[in-house]
Each structure stands twice: as C-alpha cells, then as structure tokens.
Amino acid sequence: MLNRLLDESFDPEIRRNITAVTIARLVANAAYRFAPLFLATIARGFDVSLSTLGFAIFASELSGFASPFAGRIVDRLTHRNSMVLGLVGSAVGCTIAAVSPSPIFFAVGVTVLALTKQSFDLGLGAWIADHVPYNQRGKIVGLTETAWALGLLVGVSVMGLITAATNWRIGFAFAVLCLIVSMFVVFNRVTNETRVLHESHSTTPQRVTGNSWLVVFTMFCIMCSAQNLFVTFGAWLEDEFHFGAARLAVAGFSLGLVELVASVSSSRQTDNWGKERSIALGALLVIPGGIFLCLGSKSLIIGLIGVFIYFLGFEFSVVSLLPLATSLVPNSPGTGLGWVLGAGTLGRAVMAIVATHLFESFGVKGPALMGALFGLLGALTITNYRRVNTKS
C-alpha cells in the first residue's frame, strides 16, 4: 500500500517493508494510547480517582529516562531484532495490565508496555536512518508516523468498542493478539542486516551536545502540551457530556482522523518547508486550539473544534521533529532519537500528574491553557535552535 507512494529513488528495503512496519507500529501505538483515553473508565473499574490512576501513567512514562540507554543498545542490535523485542515486550505489558488486580499492578503493566515500545520505535527510527538520506527522511517518517494517528483512529476505536461490549480488560487482550501477529510479520519480512555509517549535522560523536539540546527540550515541551489533553480528553467528555465507552471510541476515531491529516501533511511538506520551521508552525497551532477549548469547554461542538486544532498542531510538530532527531548524533541515530523520545516521555510523565490535578481543580480549562503555554515554549525553543544554526 504505502510503497506505492515511493518512487525508485528510495531503498528497496524501505519500499518492500514500509507497510508492514507501519501496521506493526499502528498496533503498538493503539495498545499504548488506549489507557489515557479511557483513563476515567479504568479508574472506575478500580474504584479510584482519576488523579490516582494518573500516577500509574506517570510511572509508565518515567520509563522515558531509559530511552538514551535504550538508543545505545538499539544501535548495537539489528533493527529487526529491536523491533521484534519491542513488540514482544508490549504484548507482555498489555497482558499484565489486562489481568491486574489493583492500580499498582496496572502501573507495572503500562510501564512495561511504555518501556518496551521504545525498543520498537527506536529500532524503526534507526532502520529509517540506515536506509533513507536526510533530505528524504521527512517523507518516510511522515508515512510511518501515520501509525500514531491510525493507532487512535482504528486501533483505539476498535478497543473502545470492545470495551463497550465487554470491559477494558478484554480491550487489552485484543491488543495482545494483534501484537503477537505483528511480531511474526516483522520477524519474517525485515532484513536482519544493518549498515554502519550515518550522516549527521553534528560533529561530536556518540552524544548529544551544544545546540542539539534545544531539539531535545523542544520535544519535552511538545509532549507536555499533548499530554495535558491526552489524559483529560476522555474525562472531559465523560464528565461534561456523559460519554460512555462507545461514544468515546467515536471521539477517538475523529481525533485520530485529525492526526492522520497532520501526519500526511507533514510527510508532504516538512522536507520542503524545513524541519525546524515545520516544528515551530505545528507548536504554534496548539495555542489557539487550547484557548478555543478553554473558552468553549461547555459546548461539545466548540470544544471539539478546539481539541482538533490542538492535536493537528501537535501531530504536525512532532512528526516534523523526528527526522531531525535521527541526525543529532553521528553514526548513532538510535542514540539521538533515544534522547529526544526520552525527553518526550519525561514531559508526558510530569504532565500525567499535573494535568489530572488541574482537571480535578479547574476542569478542562486548566490543562488546555497549560498545554497552550508549552506549545509556545516549544515554538520559541526550536526557533532559537534554527537561528543559532543559521548563524553558525
């Protein structure tokens, strides 16, 4: 399917397997994104508050601290083995979450899921960096990143409908089955060979240095802005408009459609506009989305328009940033990507607690404005990075 969008200038390995790895990432993302959208539903199942279960998400996101270390490991593994390891670990994490008797065990499950999913993401990023030159990388990353949106659009929507018909534990069980199938597909299709040399715009080997830290901090800001609504969007719809699991699945489908538009747009425009400019434009779009949601939080239509603008900006920004991340450390795309993903998961960890407390105190207005603030900070940071690099 996706290979039809690529001409002969792309590596045969990419054209042959881009659809398979994107579907595998779709499944992993669906498993990962299920809990935040249905956080209020899961909290009721454990008979705890939203903020209490927010600590479970906080614990899972702390796994982001391991991303730089995981990136170094990925640079030593074959990319196929890294992706397979990530899918196996994600299946184990979903299994633990599905059978968990308490929030503590649930936290363990989603932590294992978050930690091992990094292995897949890092392996995929390094695989792309191995086979795609920097000036074409935005297109390939944009295509594979449609899996983030489709994970919500298709995966979480299906898991939500399963939850409506049964319960959230069966939703996780369905994810386990899909992860196992994806693991065998990737194992049998992706080459087990790796290349050695990678291009980069940096001059210091094996570590992130100098201005490159601004890219890392930009991802922290972007993910902080996104997490403010990731963990409160479903609760807002449930509390304000009495959405059940089925209607939440429909809302997740709509949100996934918006993110898909952003991913496809990024794949088409980021290489032309420039990575840094695209990142800044996406981050700035978060600001009016957050303000719109804050002002229209009592209206379903107005509020959803604000949410859609918010996530359109977020998705375009983060997809545009990932190709830049793979070029931060010479000969080690996994290391650079690991630092960026680690910063992103740290941002999500912090906001999992902050956003749920803001929601319980101020409703969705608190997280919406906090997210808009981080969108502005991210845009300013990447603009500064671009300005400094232009001068040098």
SS3 for 63-91, per residue?
A: HHHHHHHHHHHHCCCCHHHHHHHHHHHHH
CA 235 – CA 218 distance, rounded (Å): 27
SS3 21: helix
Q: DSSP characters for 321-337?
A: HHHHHTTSSTT-HHHHH
Q: What is the pLDDT of residue 199?
A: 46
For residue 246, the one-letter residue type is: A
pLDDT digit string (tens) for the chain, length 392 residues: 788 878 888 889 999 999 999 999 999 999 998 998 898 899 999 999 888 888 887 877 776 666 666 666 766 778 889 899 999 999 999 999 999 999 999 999 998 998 888 889 888 988 888 888 877 887 888 889 889 888 988 999 999 999 999 999 999 999 999 999 999 999 999 988 755 444 444 434 445 556 888 999 999 999 999 999 988 999 999 999 999 888 988 898 998 899 889 888 887 888 889 889 999 999 999 999 999 999 999 999 999 999 999 999 999 999 899 888 877 876 666 677 778 888 888 888 889 889 999 999 999 999 999 999 999 999 999 999 988 877 65
Going from the C-alpha of 29 to that of each of 22, 148, 271, 361, the distances in angstroms are 10, 6, 25, 30
Spatial neighbors of 328 by CB under 8 A, at least 6 apart, are: 200, 201, 202, 208, 212, 215, 216, 336, 339, 340
8 A C-beta contact, residue 341 and residue 215: no
8 A C-beta contact, residue 132 and residue 13: no
Q: What is the pLDDT of residue 27?
A: 97
Q: What is the pLDDT of residue 322?
A: 85
Query: What is the gyration radius of the CA atoms in the chain, in angstroms?
Result: 19
For residue 116, the one-letter residue type is: T
Domains of the chain: 11-191+207-391 (1.20.1250.20)
- Closest to 152 in 3D by CA, of 276, 27, 292, 19: 27
Q: Read off the pTM.
A: 0.76
Alpha helices, H only, 231-332: 233-241, 245-273, 275-295, 300-325
Q: What is the pLDDT of residue 272?
A: 86
